[in-house]
Structure 1
Amino acid sequence: MNSEMYAEVDTALKKFRPFLVRDGGDYELIEVTPDGIVKIRLLGACETCPSSDMTLKMGIELTLSEKVMGFKEVVQVFLKGSLCRFCLSWER
């Protein structure tokens, strides 16, 4: 993990967080890979919201592409056992 890129992503996401919290949601930053992939888990209302894809692509991904050099893509991560059709399983 590139700690500098992680810090940049974390800072950019913190600026986006109030929009999620306002709607009863939040996020957890899981990982920033060396090749610029950001893995996050949406929480609260955002976790099951039908608009979560829009939040990821038009909100979070757009924000990161403007603020973080080397950023490529955001991927939503789900806890193993969550009810989702398109899940990347992840366990702690």
Structure 2
Amino acid sequence: MKAMKEKVQEVLNKVRPFLQRDGGDVELVDVDASGLVKVRLKGACGG
């Protein structure tokens, strides 16, 4: 069974090309034990 962090990363990898097309990106910062996901938006998405 995959860890939650790996599952989230897989989903982010699917949406990443759409963000990059608009000059942005997303970075997985953390997934805590309760399932809270923290990401960092970069580039055009950062504002």
Verify same fold: TM over 0.5: yes
Instruction: Report how many aligned residue pairs link the two structures.
Output: 46
Point out the structure with the larger strand share.
2
RMSD in angstroms over aligned alpha carbons? Answer: 1.1
Deviations 1:41-90 (A, max 9, x none): 00000001xxxxxxxxxxxxxxxxxxxxxxxxxxxxxxxxxxxxxxxxxx
Percent of residue pairs identical: 52
TM-score by length of 1: 0.48
| Greater relative contact order (CA < 8 Å, ≥ 6 in sequence) | 2
Name 2:43's counterpart in structure 1.
44
Matched residue type, 1:29: L
TM-score by length of 2: 0.91
* SS in structure 2 at match of 1:28: strand
